[in-house]
Structure 1
């Protein structure tokens, strides 16, 4: 009887060793299941989702800021165009004012010349009147000193004096007409000068208004440019912070992915070891049944280890893999 059971005892020890290995492997798989379950229940995924939402919100905010910057640039371009138009109008008004200044100077000079001519003609007219009066007085005194003896004869006419008088009168009339023309020309020039002064005043008021509007536009343009620069600086800083946060989260995601790949590889290795152990256990069980065909019907109490082995085999055949990464 002792010789009959010695091979069985050795096989029993070997089977017990393999069953111990299977138990250790099941404990390792259970521990791995717990780790994987804890991994899926940890807050990393929630943190990743929150970071994704933050990145999406930051991207939307960044696009909105870019749109605001584009609108501000368009507004600045509009103000620049308006400024250029106002500047061109301002330069045109200044050119008109300078032209009117030249016209005014010319008219003032012409007025001065005409006034000098009028003064000279008035002096000449006064001189002619004075000479005419003196000649008339001399002529009257000569007529008073003469005695006409022949009463029946008509008095003689001094043709020379008559011609001289006619010439003086013609010259006086000519000077009078010329003076009237000069007075009319002076009045016309004076009216033109007054009109030019009025136009200059209006243009000066227009230029002042344009300068005020130009200054207002320049102030608004400077304010918009300052606001645009501050906005670009602020959102550039925020974008840089978001980019740094994204880079940090990407590094964490890569680290988590590498860790999950390592755990997956470890799981595959353990699963391969378990499969080979199950195959070896099945092979030893078949060998045991082949060598001891009459042993299986024996009562379990005589060979309790076989009942334990059968329960282990049944348990391993009934176990199912569960989880997101594998089924146990």
Structure 2
């Protein structure tokens, strides 16, 4: 095959009909660059790979590009070798995959104990986590209850807090007063220190002046006596001045100490008062916080009690509604019974009045009957006399006898007709007495008439 032909570009990837042809060198270079980038990337697992194809172009290349074509052929041969190597590697990987799949499909290929061990550990972890969650929930509930109690307590604490704030304000005022006193004492101390420094300076000045005088005296003094000793005289003078200096120093120190002792005593008292005030303030602040927490707890307690009270009111209201209905119905029935009882009482009163009237009438009838019995006795006597006279004069006495009989019959008829109305309304015991009497009277009258 000639070197300038493009036949070496055909049959890529095993000579299965793939073809790479370009129209110019730039297009060929681009194709090769793309191929090298694909080679550097991880190749997919496929049984066979095909060479990339490009757009069709004239097969012949220019004569000046022979060297470039040779280099491209060399690169293509290396590419094909690389493809074969990758195919082998893909085959090996495919075999390994098939072996692994075969082992997984086999029942005895997997050790379930090794799989279950981490699962058991995970189950234990899940149980522990659930226990921890339950504990946390209990803690949350307990904290909620504690918060409610604290809220209730806070309400009480707020009330006490106001009083404590008043006490704190008073303590603040006292603290400010103590601070002012401390400032005043500090100012006094500074003044005393300034005075002490001034006195020290004055003392130094005086000492310097005296020393200068001593020096001058040393210079100007003339000793007339021949036996005098200047050293002893100077030594005496120095002793005197030292004594005066020591005396002045002691006096100043005593004054300074006495002054500062008083100041220290006042300052110690003020510091004690200040520390006690601070401790009281801290205690009051602690009490304030505690009372605030207590107030909050009491507020929540009051709120919960109000809610329970509302619930109980609603519940008992629901329970009392049927009872109220029953009470209203019973009240209505009671009113009806009362009205009936009142009506019966009125009827009873009326019956008692009627009974009293009937008893009075019965007594009147008894009196009348007694009067009638007396009349009947008188009639018996008159009838006997009349019969005697009739035996003597029957014709003249017959119409008189008829008149007497008619009067007796009329009396008998009128007496039972008048007694019939009250006897019906009266009791059975009342009926017996008046009815029996007229019957006896009638029998006696018949006997008289029969005679």
TM-score of the pair, normalised by structure 1: 0.43
